[in-house]
Amino acid sequence: MASEGSEAQNPGDGGGGGPPKLQFVPFSSALDAGFWHELTQRKLNEYKLDETPKAIRGYYYNGDPAGMPARLTLEFSAFDINTPTPAHCCPAIGTLYNTNTLESFKSCDKKFLLEQAAIELWNTITSGDAIENPVLLNRFLLLTFADLKRYRFYYWFCYPALCLPEGISLIQQPVCLGAKFSPAQIRALQSAYDELCQKEGLTALPYFLIKYHDESVFVSLLKNWKDFFPDQREKVILGVYDPSNFTQYPGWPLRNLLVLAAHRWGSRLHSVEVLCFRDRTMQGARDISHSIVFEIKLPPMAQNSAGCPKAVGWEKNQKGSMGPRMVNLSECMDPKRLAESSVDLNLKLMCWRLVPTLDLEKVVSVKCLLLGAGTLGCSVARTLMGWGVRKITFVDNAKISYSNPVRQPLYEFEDCLEGGKSKALAAADRLQKIFPGVNAEGFNMSIPMPGHPVNFSEVTMQQAQRDVAHLEELIDAHDVIFLLMDTRESRWLPAVIAASKRKLVINAALGFDTFVVMRHGLKKPKHQEVGDSPCNNPCGSADLLGSSLFSNIPGYKLGCYFCNDVVAPGDSTRDRTLDQQCTVSRPGLAMIAGALAVELMVSILQHPEGGYAVASSSDDRMNEPPTSLGLVPHQKS
Amino acid sequence: MASEGSEAQNPGDGGGGGPPKLQFVPFSSALDAGFWHELTQRKLNEYKLDETPKAIRGYYYNGDPAGMPARLTLEFSAFDINTPTPAHCCPAIGTLYNTNTLESFKSCDKKFLLEQAAIELWNTITSGDAIENPVLLNRFLLLTFADLKRYRFYYWFCYPALCLPEGISLIQQPVCLGAKFSPAQIRALQSAYDELCQKEGLTALPYFLIKYHDESVFVSLLKNWKDFFPDQREKVILGVYDPSNFTQYPGWPLRNLLVLAAHRWGSRLHSVEVLCFRDRTMQGARDISHSIVFEIKLPPMAQNSAGCPKAVGWEKNQKGSMGPRMVNLSECMDPKRLAESSVDLNLKLMCWRLVPTLDLEKVVSVKCLLLGAGTLGCSVARTLMGWGVRKITFVDNAKISYSNPVRQPLYEFEDCLEGGKSKALAAADRLQKIFPGVNAEGFNMSIPMPGHPVNFSEVTMQQAQRDVAHLEELIDAHDVIFLLMDTRESRWLPAVIAASKRKLVINAALGFDTFVVMRHGLKKPKHQEVGDSPCNNPCGSADLLGSSLFSNIPGYKLGCYFCNDVVAPGDSTRDRTLDQQCTVSRPGLAMIAGALAVELMVSILQHPEGGYAVASSSDDRMNEPPTSLGLVPHQKS
């Protein structure tokens, strides 16, 4: 068995002829769920399609009980390279290669990556940087592909270790500290190590120098080599903070230290003693006596040797063969959280390539009041859900009838039984069933309408007053008001209230094979409020008369649904035949109009001026620069 | 108490001075659920907005036990005036006034209707028609409003009875037949009546003449008056088939007979005996002995009297006051049936006023195969449901993931748990939940695709062969094939198979803020089949090159989705980044495209040439006459 790159997990001290070779316990990568979560977030919001390598941080601990694998841990904090290393841990400097596709993950040139890392390591050794800052010897690579649609994470971990060409021959087999040092010496080592850490302000020293005389033990930094060992005949001990828990084998970090030692001091030292510092707390008492000590032959390595040594380090997978690992987090995640992040993902994908400037937060955080939970209301609510809108409130006074579910996509047959559920309440319930993360409410109430006089009994008067007050409160509490009712006159009062409160109003109305989807004009804040007209600019005002049909009109000069009326809204429900009582329309129309109403809202929200956005039509593409989602019209029909 | 129009339900023989006046038991209208069902059907399919009076038929029975009200029954057969009258029943000739609105029902001039009916009655009496055919005296009016959206039926029944100005004085109080006739005479009456019915081919004789001598009893028709009573001194008995079960009061039908008698014979007869023929089966034995007999004074009425007498007859409501009745059938109907008729109603309303030529049957009976049950598939299915399509089949091989429900309107959060349900099966289940009347099926299967070679193991080869065969079977079994998948190449095989079988193909595909909805060309049946190309007319053929962009192209010359391709369809799913793996599109787009795809299909089905319809765009309105639903384009995008 070749000693270079040999691993100690199936021990055996190298059969065949010659002296026994030292073997090492490789790192097991320990990638926390928090790491994958943070990777998901960074991929979605920061990296997107960027595949360039990213600097990350890991760490290893050396206080584990015997039998535990040597782990290199990556937590959610791995992405913040300034995060302090946890106590009793050594940091490791990582490079993340996150690929965009499973194919590029699989076809990635891992040999090349390892060679690159080896050259960097070698450069830090030959340049002396590694002696100044030994953490530079602790490098790792992480190749990943995050399948965010299925919460599966593919990864391949590598801790590059430079190899000495002939391996490392053991002169003296490992023994535990207690077998070689007196208890007083052990105590002295512990104190000296702690003092140096404290002085350096480090949680742990990965590599250090040790010398001892009788009961006194001294510890120093690698860079102090010359001062620490002035006498060339003095016994040199290399210390390593060792994550291995095997009594016969040191962990992986020692490998690069030995290459460094061979390169720097190999010409002078023929052999060197190694102390694998292991530090644990057993039954409340700190203990380093299980640390191991052994002596090796240090092969000479010319200081001017330009050739970078070969390196090893790609981790084996769970089956023990060379290959990537996969972790499926969907099974251990809360399904409701999973649903939320999946919905987020689908939206954020829009920002990756298609509309990088899209400000999703403006859409997701908007509070929508849907007046009407019929064919239009259901379609609008569904499209809002698709856009990730979290706050949706329904107002309707009707019950679900048997003809509704086939056209109103939030209801089912069961909702019609026993007289039918209230549409507003059932719609809100359904949204929660579709996506538990939504905040949906329903109010079963009537909207007072012109032309529908209230009976002047005290009871009905009071009810009408309460309805007006409640409607006003609801409009106050939302950002966008959708008018989705089945009569013209029911749109009047909400349009007036919303105009007075400067809320964005989106109106949709259906004919048989025609429809209108429009935004109402939004009064400029500096103007004085005129509470009795939903429209801010009376039709026919001088500045509009002069403008052509297709010229751009700023949002504050746009009219409302009632602007073209020559009659005041009145009771349109009296004396209607059956086919006039419900909106008889081509069934596809409500979905088209409902979807367009939401898309119009989103376009308005994305415009830097919001509701004051200039009304553009496709005829004036030249005049108004489109926003991230294109032109914002006033009306589609 | 005035005797005219007096009713006997709160008996009392007319207080005050003078001789006691005869009172009558009015009809209770008995409108069967079947009657309302049939009215619903006729209103939807035949009358629509037609408010003209309709001829209907009712009947009354006289075998009820004592205490039952006298009922005039209307069954589902009431609308077929040629339906035979049930045994032991007399027919009544009705006029149905079905109004379009509750308002016109309420504001209907009931006094005028009654006067009209009185004049008609009077004319049949004065003309002699009623003597020839006494059924003409049995008339009724029915004023209705059918609220088909809520299954509430408002109605007001009227059995017009002409009134003798001074009422009818009783000379001899009613007694039962047994008190006046011997058992032999009763038997003889029964036989004579039965014989006459049989001879006339009637189930019952409403009015007839009776005379008797000792044990022999004779019965004859009104028109035989002169021959039957040659001796003017002979005792005249008028017989009436009497629906009343009161021992003291005859039923309503007698009233018009007495007016006829007074008019025709009043100058000759001062008094007349009346036999109210009642005929029931008690404990297995037929019995007419509870019939009643009494004598009245017949007031004279000049034969040339031109003035039509006053009439009464509008029924009181359940509260005992003058007003309409309402029956709510929604509570007693099977909810699933209710849902079906409600869905039908909404569709049929389109034919009433907006598109009278719409052939709904063509749409409702179409069998649709939806390849893909994702955002597009769900929206297409919902719109098909809105159009009343009953046969919908899904094919998809995916499972429902957490990001789906907010964009795919047939799924809910629960469907995503435990790895997710199969989309095709869950979609079919959901359709059943929305509308139990639908026949929905789902097949969880893959569609073989060019560029996705099958692994050449026997198992996978066989599976691919089975998939092709199954797909072919499915296409065979449906009329319209919707291509709603998420890759281009998966559309290839179904497009080829559907073209070879001459099935209508509707294709929809989404971009980010673009989409295409198109129909594939449909090869003319007389041409030879070319199985390997979904397109019937290779692009660039001479006759197309010469035509302008907007000229009309017949359906058999239209291309398919692949016509503009310069590369063969290949694997477009390999090596895709996350945002390319799902169709990243503005959320409203799928609803718009899905709805348009169905509307396009409906327009094609309505065109007299179906899939061969000329492709029209709004630019060539002048060239192609629109069908009932307007122009049929080739493509919308």
- pLDDT at residue B442, rounded to an integer: 97
User: Above pLDDT 90, what percent of chain B?
Assistant: 53
* C-alpha to C-alpha distance for A282 and A289, rounded to whole angstroms: 11
pLDDT at B351 over 50: yes
Beta strand pairing call for B237-241 and B271-277: parallel
Which residue in B238, B286, B278 sits closest to B258, CA to CA?
B238
pLDDT bin (cut points 50, 70, 90) of residue A424 is very high
Architecture of the A359-567+582-636 domain: 3-Layer(aba) Sandwich (3.40)
For an interface test with B, give the residue of A40, A329, A578 to mutate (most B CBs within 10 A): A578
pLDDT at B441 over 50: yes
Name the residue type at position B509.
A
- pLDDT at residue B525, rounded to an integer: 67
Report chain A residues whose CB lies below 8 A from the CB of B629.
513, 586
Scanning every residue of chain A, which has its alpha carbon at the shortest distance from the alpha carbon of B148? A578
- pLDDT at residue A566, rounded to an integer: 65
pLDDT at A108 over 60: yes
**Nearest-CA distance B518 → chain A (Å):** 16
pLDDT in tens, B225-251: 989 988 877 888 999 999 999 999 999
pLDDT at B14 over 70: no
Give strand ranges (E) for A163-270: 169-176, 207-213, 216-220, 237-241
* C-alpha to C-alpha distance for B485 and A369, rounded to whole angstroms: 34
pLDDT in tens, A22-66: 999 999 999 988 899 889 889 988 898 899 999 999 999 988 888
- pLDDT at residue B582, rounded to an integer: 58
> What is the number of residues in chain A?
637
Scanning every residue of chain A, which has its alpha carbon at the shortest distance from the alpha carbon of B591? A591
pLDDT in tens, A193-232: 999 999 998 889 999 999 988 888 999 999 999 899 888 7
Do B588 and A599 lie within an 8 Å CB cutoff? Answer: yes
Architecture of the A169-297 domain: 3-Layer(aba) Sandwich (3.40)
Average pLDDT of the residues in B520-541? 56
Equal fold, B169-297 vs B356-564+583-636? no
Name the residue type at position B443.
F
Report chain B residues whose CB lies below 8 A from the CB of A385.
406-407, 587
Half-sphere exposure of residue B296, counting CA atoms within 13 Å on the CB side?
30
pLDDT bin (cut points 50, 70, 90) of residue A575 is low
Average pLDDT of the residues in A465-481? 95
Name the residue type at position B251.
G
Tokens standing for B16?
Answer: 């005050």
**Nearest-CA distance B593 → chain A (Å):** 8
Which residue in B612, B518, B584 sits closest to A49, CA to CA?
B584
Tokens standing for B207?
Answer: 């009015």
> How far is residue B28 from each of residues A422, A631, B314, measured CA to CA in Å?
38, 68, 11
For an interface test with A, give the residue of B410, B584, B591 to mutate (most A CBs within 10 A): B591
Block residue for tokens 């028109």: B223
Which residue in A259, A287, A354 sits closest to A22, CA to CA?
A259
pLDDT bin (cut points 50, 70, 90) of residue B343 is confident
Say if residue A176 is exposed, middle or buried (CB neighbours under 10 Å; 0-12, 13-18, 19+): middle
For an interface test with A, give the residue of B40, B41, B149, B346 to mutate (most A CBs within 10 A): B346
pLDDT in tens, B538-595: 444 444 444 445 557 777 778 888 877 666 677 776 666 666 655 678 999 999 999 9
pLDDT in tens, A331-380: 777 788 878 888 887 888 887 777 888 899 999 999 999 999 999 999 99
Block residue for tokens 């290959």: A323
Tokens standing for A140?
Answer: 């790792």
pLDDT in tens, A163-198: 988 889 999 999 999 888 999 999 999 999 999 999
Q: Which 8-state DSSP code applies to residue A305? A: -
Name the residue type at position A48.
K
pLDDT at B220 over 70: yes
Q: What is the DSSP string of B163-217?
A: --TT--EEEEEEEEHHHHS-HHHHHHHHHHHHHHHHHHT-S--SEEEEEEETTEE
Q: Do residues B141 and B99 lie in contact, with contact meaning Cβ atoms separated by under 8 Å?
A: no
B308: Cα separation from own chain's centroid: 38
Backbone φ/ψ region at A490: left (φ over 0), alpha (ψ -120 to 50), beta: alpha
Report chain B residues whose CB lies below 8 A from the CB of A408.
none
Q: Do residues B248 and B11 lie in contact, with contact meaning Cβ atoms separated by under 8 Å?
A: yes
**Highest-pLDDT range among A122-131, B231-240, B291-300, B512-521:** A122-131
Tokens standing for A323?
Answer: 């290959």
- Cβ atoms within 10 Å of A418's Cβ, excluding its own: 10
- pLDDT at residue B611, rounded to an integer: 86
pLDDT at A615 over 50: yes
Active site residue A582: yes
Block residue for tokens 């239209």: B558
Q: Do residues A211 and A240 lie in contact, with contact meaning Cβ atoms separated by under 8 Å?
A: no
* C-alpha to C-alpha distance for A530 and B312, rounded to whole angstroms: 60
The catalytic residues of B are 582
Report chain B residues whose CB lies below 8 A from the CB of A411.
434
Do B591 and A382 lie within an 8 Å CB cutoff? Answer: yes
Helices A375-386 & B588-606, crossing angle to 10 degrees? 140
- pLDDT at residue B619, rounded to an integer: 52
Architecture of the B28-163+311-332 domain: 3-Layer(aba) Sandwich (3.40)
- CATH number 1.10.10.10 is the correct assignment for the domain at B356-564+583-636: no
**Where are chain A's structural domains?**
28-164+311-332, 169-297, 359-567+582-636
Minimum mean pLDDT range among B8-22, B376-390, B451-465, B564-578: B8-22
> What is the number of residues in chain B?
637
- pLDDT at residue B382, rounded to an integer: 97
- pLDDT at residue B531, rounded to an integer: 45
- pLDDT at residue A58, rounded to an integer: 94
pLDDT bin (cut points 50, 70, 90) of residue A625 is low
Average pLDDT of the residues in B336-359? 81
**Highest-pLDDT range among A447-451, A591-595, B320-324, B418-422:** A591-595
**Nearest-CA distance B508 → chain A (Å):** 14
**Nearest-CA distance A545 → chain B (Å):** 30
- pLDDT at residue B438, rounded to an integer: 95
Do B335 and A594 lie within an 8 Å CB cutoff? Answer: no
Say if residue B198 is exposed, middle or buried (CB neighbours under 10 Å; 0-12, 13-18, 19+): exposed
* C-alpha to C-alpha distance for B553 and B522, rounded to whole angstroms: 12
Q: What is the ipTM of this complex?
A: 0.73
- pLDDT at residue B299, rounded to an integer: 81
Contacts of B418 (CB under 8 A, 6+ apart): none
Tokens standing for A536?
Answer: 């801010």
Q: What is the DSSP string of B82-151?
A: TSPPPTTEEEEEEEEEEESSHHHHHH--HHHHHHHHHHHHHHHHHHSHHHH-GGGG-EEEEEEEEETTTT
Top-confidence residue, B545 or B309: B309
- Cβ atoms within 10 Å of A412's Cβ, excluding its own: 18
Q: Do residues A36 and A326 lie in contact, with contact meaning Cβ atoms separated by under 8 Å?
A: no
Minimum mean pLDDT range among A126-140, B369-383, B479-493, B536-550: B536-550
β-bridge partners, B170: B296
Count Cβ–Cβ pairs < 8 Å, chain A vs chain B.
218
Angle at B423 between CA B422 and CA B429, to 5 degrees: 95
Which residue in A369, A376, A508, A387 sits closest to A442, CA to CA?
A369
Helices (H), B374-516: 375-386, 423-434, 458-476, 492-500
Which residue in A530, A532, A520 sits closest to A556, CA to CA?
A520
Q: Do residues A152 and A326 lie in contact, with contact meaning Cβ atoms separated by under 8 Å?
A: yes
Tokens standing for B295?
Answer: 């004598």
Block residue for tokens 């449901």: B385
Q: Which 8-state DSSP code applies to residue A323? A: S
pLDDT at B610 over 50: yes
Report chain A residues whose CB lies below 8 A from the CB of B606.
none
Top-confidence residue, A607 or B535: A607
pLDDT in tens, A535-569: 544 444 444 444 445 557 777 778 888 877 666 67
Q: Do residues A188 and A177 lie in contact, with contact meaning Cβ atoms separated by under 8 Å?
A: no
pLDDT at B625 over 80: no
**pTM of the entire predicted model:** 0.73
* C-alpha to C-alpha distance for A111 and A310, rounded to whole angstroms: 11
Average pLDDT of the residues in A479-488? 93
Q: 3-class DSSP state for residue B30?
A: strand
Angle at B445 between CA B444 and CA B449, to 5 degrees: 150
Q: Which 8-state DSSP code applies to residue B387? A: T
Q: Pseudo-torsion of CA B348, B353, B355, B360, nearest 10°? A: 10
Q: Do residues A241 and A207 lie in contact, with contact meaning Cβ atoms separated by under 8 Å?
A: yes
Q: Which 8-state DSSP code applies to residue A44? A: I
Name the residue type at position B428.
A
β-bridge partners, A482: A370, A506
pLDDT bin (cut points 50, 70, 90) of residue A13 is very low
Which residue in B207, B194, B282 sits closest to B245, CA to CA?
B282
- CATH number 3.40.140.70 is the correct assignment for the domain at A28-164+311-332: yes
* C-alpha to C-alpha distance for A499 and A562, rounded to whole angstroms: 13
Contacts of B592 (CB under 8 A, 6+ apart): A591, A592, A595, A596, B515
**Highest-pLDDT range among B2-16, B184-198, B573-587:** B184-198
* C-alpha to C-alpha distance for A488 and A450, rounded to whole angstroms: 10
Block residue for tokens 């020559």: A566
